[in-house]
Amino acid sequence: MERGNRVSITVIRRLPKYYRYLTELLNKGVTRISSQELSNMTGFTASQIRQDLNNFGGFGQQGYGYNVEDLRNQLGKILGLDKIYKTVIAGAGNLGQAIANYKGFEDAGFQVLSLFDRNPRVIGLRIRDVEVRDVELMEDFIKENGVEIGIITVPKYSAQEVADIFVRGGIKGIWNFAPADIKVPDEIIVENVHLNESLFALSYFLNNRQDYVRRD
Amino acid sequence: MERGNRVSITVIRRLPKYYRYLTELLNKGVTRISSQELSNMTGFTASQIRQDLNNFGGFGQQGYGYNVEDLRNQLGKILGLDKIYKTVIAGAGNLGQAIANYKGFEDAGFQVLSLFDRNPRVIGLRIRDVEVRDVELMEDFIKENGVEIGIITVPKYSAQEVADIFVRGGIKGIWNFAPADIKVPDEIIVENVHLNESLFALSYFLNNRQDYVRRD
């Protein structure tokens, strides 16, 4: 398929949502779906959905719609979910442990090889089968194991220090939960999770119900 | 200000981001900013930013730009952040504890009055100053305390049960971290956090670096 142009960031941000809905449909035994039905589920317009998917070759057929399993698998490939990723988590507090405990990430191909912390009380603990190691060992661990993704769950004031270690270790992508802007070289992919933004959207809608549209 | 029409959902979703950037600017002592500078920070176009803010009355001045503190405070009001919200967390596992521990939410006006769990080993624990209570007491607690926001951090299979209790208790908004579609009456505001979608965007960019644009 032709991929000469950059795909817009807003289209890309919608792909994981399509993937999630298609996975749910597949689990319910649905075999095909129209862009209109996808529109009803996602709240995006049918024409937007067709346009979005056209960016990646367009898997629909006029009058038939989309084959759920095919489309889901193709989107999975596009999202890179046909691969296994080695990850580490910096910060073995509640949030780090919650992520290490969440089987959904592992099922999607994201393996947590180790957690790291500087607190002697948690070093040596095991979260499921994953050991908490001293953060002093993190850079070498990343290098030795070819870790690609680093997850930051340390407090704000330690986030940059952790990011620097990730970069020295050769990590390619960072999933950052710390409410801090981290500075890393341009070639490193950074995905920030801003939970505040989600909570503030909730409070907006509580105060402006007329603007609320249910979405999943 | 005139608010006859619904504001589009995509505009609303950008407001918390503007608010975050403006808070950072304020903390850095910046007093005024142009839509172009905001564009450089956020990645949205300057005209999009002006349009977005015009929805709410338009606080900018030609040739001057925006007063950072004014705009931040007005956006804060629009987002409902000038109020205090009573919240409870259903699920006192790692994620629930992480949220209860995160001072940033409290600072923004979201008070956690109690966590709830069904596990006897965590009932009675205190997370910071917040007690973990038996989930059997949750409905009455919500009613007696006029709790407005319920936070779901239980596993997927318990999410609907918890949502039903929230609704019976009279909760107005739900912040849902469980990877499950919960069904509640239309007047309840539901904000879902889909961490998978963020992680899958990261894996997309790791495999399609040409599409990556750094954003915060």
* CATH superfamily of the domain spanning A85-196: NAD(P)-binding Rossmann-like Domain (3.40.50.720)
Mean pLDDT across the stretch B120-128? 94
Q: Which of A59, A40, A39 is nearest to A49 (CA)?
A: A39
ipTM score? 0.90
In this prediction, residue A2 carries a pLDDT of: 43
Confirm or reject contact between B186 and chain A (CB < 8 A).
yes
Confirm or reject contact between A186 and chain B (CB < 8 A).
yes
Mean pLDDT across the stretch B30-42? 89
Query: What digits encode the pLDDT tens for the residues A53-103?
Result: 888 766 677 778 889 999 999 999 999 999 999 999 999 999 999 999 988
Q: Measured between beta carbons, which residues in chain B are less than 8 angstroms from residue A206?
A: 80, 85, 148-149, 172-173, 189
In DSSP terms, B33 is beta-bridged to: B66
Query: What digits encode the pLDDT tens for the residues A154-204?
Result: 999 999 999 999 999 999 999 999 988 899 999 999 999 989 889 999 999
Q: Measured between beta carbons, which residues in chain B are less than 8 angstroms from residue A183?
A: none
Give start-end residues of each CATH 1.10.10.10 domain in chain A. Answer: 9-77
Confirm or reject contact between A103 and chain B (CB < 8 A).
no
Confirm or reject contact between A188 and chain B (CB < 8 A).
no
Query: What digits encode the pLDDT tens for the residues B51-103?
Result: 888 887 766 777 788 899 999 999 999 999 999 999 999 999 999 999 999 88
Q: What are phi and psi of A35, to 5 degrees?
A: -65, -30
Distance (Å) of CA A152 to CA A160, B40, B84, B104, B199: 9, 25, 29, 17, 13
Confidence of residue A145 (pLDDT cuts 50, 70, 90): very high
Distance (Å) of CA A97 to CA A131, B145, B170, B194: 11, 31, 32, 18
In this prediction, residue A212 carries a pLDDT of: 85
According to the CATH classification, is domain B9-78 in 1.10.10.10?
Answer: yes
Mean pLDDT across the stretch A36-43? 86
Give start-end residues of each CATH 3.40.50.720 domain in chain A. Answer: 85-196
Cβ-Cβ contacts under 8 Å for A136 (sequence gap 6 or more) = A118
* Residue A9 vs residue A177, higher pLDDT: A177
3-state secondary structure of B119: coil
In CATH terms, the fold of domain A9-77 is Arc Repressor Mutant, subunit A (1.10.10)
In this prediction, residue A42 carries a pLDDT of: 82
